[in-house]
């Protein structure tokens, strides 16, 4: 044991306290040690919140370099600051017994402001900010950076009601004020309160020495928390909290993901027997993701990005998730429809031939009549989804085509009789009735619903627009002059788009999902 172990640490008071704790424990085992303080980027750059710096492992990178250069043998970290994936040549050697896991509110004067509609709280943590605003949405949260001492000084010198600290941090260096309370309701950062030792994988002497300091219970709990963080693809730029505790041979876990402003949150709890705990992180992260977590994470990642694709129809959550990460999409309905009042005599007698080209026409019919009143002998329609709706709500479809023009050409050849009733909108293309009437088939048009343009004026950053009907193209042009890439649901929509745009893409099948495939192909 003659080799001296060089202990790398940041040079803040708290970091030095942690390093000295490791030093004392190693020396109690008979090892010789020396401290090597190193200043980190996180300590140097104090004029921006952590989550704006965009550096992974901001408090660990400098020590990682010192390890790789053999300037130090081990690095001592607050485990919550360590990226969930370490550099290839570096390994986690030990986790010391955990301290206080809570966040602590340090306040001035008294706690009465907690019940007031307005108050100002300081923190540099996005997680603390989001959870505070979720609980106190009318409060103001300001940024607070620096070491523990400087943050306490800033609280003293500013007109704030309070500031949030890690209980372990202010407790370890004896700076916890009397005017403070633990925030038991706030879920801490993954691995908060734990001290971690890292070393080069090839440094067997340091590894064997430090492994004797490992606290197994803390290692199990922090591993679960950090795996949960990793599976959510989070870091210091996402408001994620996680806490695992072991009691009576059971691991109790709770996790949370929030939007940055705290307006949305998704929570999860899980209990597993010790020994079966390796399933917790996968279960908890999947639970969060399936309940809107991926959308929240995407919104956080895309914050500041300009919208590059717009959908002229509001996309569902499942449809948004199909778009790849390079795409920031927004959507709204460029077309609004209202069913008309259809006179009863229109459907009083059985109608031999009926044409329905949209789901809106189906909705209008069902708004006016019961299924029993709609006695149609032959129903012809456009689109698979329209067909499914008709057969679920009205009756069997005799024939389907992908667009109105194709349906008209089919009817010219195969219609039974010489007359059809066409349930349409006030806005429609002339192809279908013109083709039929030119071939001596009488078309009785029934205006089943009103279509109104309701376009949004788009930013110049929008490169592509998803169109689902000729009307959505027309609506777009009322408010926009951009020569965008037109991602079209079918040939009829593309025909209208060609009047206005030079780059036209047409989906393989007439579905929203197929249009999304077009968009993904362009941005791959």
CATH architecture of 338-451: 3-Layer(aba) Sandwich (3.40)
pLDDT at 499: 95
Q: Locate tokens 């069997």: which residue? A: 396
With cut-offs at 50, 70 and 90, classify the pLDDT of residue 53.
very low
Distance from C-alpha of 461 to C-alpha of 190, rounded to nearest angstrom: 37
Average confidence (pLDDT) over 94-107: 96
Distance from C-alpha of 448 to C-alpha of 122, rounded to nearest angstrom: 58
| Number of other residues whose CB lies within 10 A of the CB of residue 334 | 28
pTM higher than the cut 0.75: no
User: What's the farthest any 2 CA atoms get from each other in the chain?
Assistant: 105
Report the catalytic residues.
81
pLDDT at 256: 97
| Number of other residues whose CB lies within 10 A of the CB of residue 248 | 7
Q: Does domain 1-96+191-214 have CATH number 3.20.190.10?
A: no
pLDDT at 220: 97
How do residues 468-496 score in pLDDT, each as one tens digit?
A: 999 999 999 999 998 999 999 988 899 99
Query: What is 87-138 written as a DSSP string?
Result: -TTEEEEEEPPP----EEEEESS-SGGGGSS--EEE-S-HHHHHHHHHH-TT
Q: Do domains 216-303 and 305-334+454-523 have the same CATH topology?
A: no
Distance from C-alpha of 341 to C-alpha of 339, rounded to nearest angstrom: 7
Distance from C-alpha of 51 to C-alpha of 141, rounded to nearest angstrom: 15
Dihedral of CA 78/79/83/87: which sign? positive
- Burial call 313-328: b when 16+ CB within 10 Å, e when fewer: bebeeebbeebeeebb
Q: Domain coordinates of the chain in residue numbers? A: 1-96+191-214, 103-183, 216-303, 305-334+454-523, 338-451
Say which CATH topology domain 305-334+454-523 has: Rossmann fold (3.40.50)
Coil, strand or helix: which one is 222?
helix
How do residues 229-259 score in pLDDT, each as one tens digit?
A: 999 875 557 899 999 999 999 999 999 999 9
Dihedral of CA 399/401/404/409: which sign? negative
Sheet holding 4-10, edge to edge: 32-38, 4-10, 74-78, 195-200, 90-95
Q: What are 85's two structure tokens?
A: 């994936």
Distance from C-alpha of 239 to C-alpha of 243, rounded to nearest angstrom: 14
CATH superfamily of 216-303: Porphobilinogen deaminase, C-terminal domain (3.30.160.40)
With cut-offs at 50, 70 and 90, classify the pLDDT of residue 212.
very high
First to last CA, the chain: 56
pLDDT at 197: 97
* C-alpha of 208 from chain center: 42
Residue 193 has pLDDT above 60, yes or no: yes
Lowest mean pLDDT among 1-15, 119-133, 175-189, 396-410: 1-15
With cut-offs at 50, 70 and 90, classify the pLDDT of residue 145.
confident
Distance from C-alpha of 267 to C-alpha of 288, rounded to nearest angstrom: 7
Coil, strand or helix: which one is 422?
strand
The CATH number of 103-183 is which of 3.40.190.10, 3.40.50.720, 2.40.50.140, 3.40.50.280? 3.40.190.10
Residue 45 has pLDDT above 60, yes or no: no
């Amino acid at each position: 044991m003659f080799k001296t172990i060089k202990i790398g640490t940041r040079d803040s008071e708290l970091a030095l306290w942690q390093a000295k704790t490791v030093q004392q424990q190693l020396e109690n085992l008979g090892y010789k040690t020396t401290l090597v303080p190193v200043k980190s980027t996180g300590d140097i750059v104090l004029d921006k919140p952590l989550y704006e710096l965009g550096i992974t492992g901001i408090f660990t990178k400098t020590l990682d370099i010192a390890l790789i250069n053999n300037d130090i043998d081990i690095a001592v970290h607050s485990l919550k600051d360590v990226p969930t994936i370490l550099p290839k040549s570096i390994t986690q050697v030990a986790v010391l017994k955990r301290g206080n896991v809570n966040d602590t509110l340090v306040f001035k004067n008294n706690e009465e402001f907690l019940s007031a509609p307005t108050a100002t709280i300081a923190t540099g943590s996005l997680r603390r900010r989001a959870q505070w605003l979720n609980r106190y949405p009318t409060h103001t949260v300001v940024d607070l950076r620096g070491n523990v001492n400087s943050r306490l000084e800033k609280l003293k010198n500013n007109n704030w009601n309070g500031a949030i600290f890690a209980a372990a941090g202010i407790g370890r260096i004896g700076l916890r004020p009397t005017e403070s309370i633990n925030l038991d309701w706030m879920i801490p950062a993954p691995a908060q309160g734990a001290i971690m030792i890292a070393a080069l994988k090839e440094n067997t002497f340091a590894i064997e020495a430090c492994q004797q300091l490992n606290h197994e219970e803390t290692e199990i709990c922090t591993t679960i928390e950090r795996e949960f963080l990793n599976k959510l693809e989070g870091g210091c730029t996402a408001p994620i909290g996680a806490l695992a505790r072991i009691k009576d041979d059971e691991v109790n876990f709770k996790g949370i993901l929030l939007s940055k402003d705290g307006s949305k949150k998704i929570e999860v709890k899980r209990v597993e027997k010790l020994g079966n705990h390796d399933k917790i992180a996968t279960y908890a992260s999947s639970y969060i993701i399936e309940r809107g977590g991926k959308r929240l994470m995407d919104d956080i990642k895309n914050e500041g990005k300009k919208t590059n694709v717009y959908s002229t129809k509001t996309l569902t959550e499942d449809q948004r998730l199909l778009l790849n990460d390079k795409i920031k999409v927004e959507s709204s309905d460029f077309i609004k429809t209202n069913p008309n009042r259809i006179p009863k005599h229109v459907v009083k007698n059985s109608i031999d031939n009926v044409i329905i080209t949209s789901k809106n026409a189906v909705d209008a019919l069902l708004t006016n009549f019961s299924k029993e009143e709609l006695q149609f002998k032959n129903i012809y329609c456009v689109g698979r989804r329209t067909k499914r709706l008709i057969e679920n709500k009205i009756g069997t479809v005799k024939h389907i085509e992908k667009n109105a023009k194709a349906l008209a050409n089919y009817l010219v050849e195969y219609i039974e009789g010489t007359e059809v009733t066409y349930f349409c909108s006030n806005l429609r293309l002339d192809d279908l009735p013109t083709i039929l009437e030119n071939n001596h088939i009488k078309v009785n048009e029934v205006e089943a619903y009103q279509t109104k343009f309701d376009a949004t004026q788009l930013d110049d950053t929008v490169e592509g627009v998803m169109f689902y009907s000729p009307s959505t193209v027309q609506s777009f042009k009322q408010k926009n002059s951009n020569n965008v890439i037109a991602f079209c649901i079918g040939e009829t929509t593309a025909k209208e788009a060609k009047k206005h745009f030079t780059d036209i893409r047409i989906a393989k099948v007439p579905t929203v999902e197929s249009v999304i495939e077009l968009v993904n192909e362009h941005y791959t």
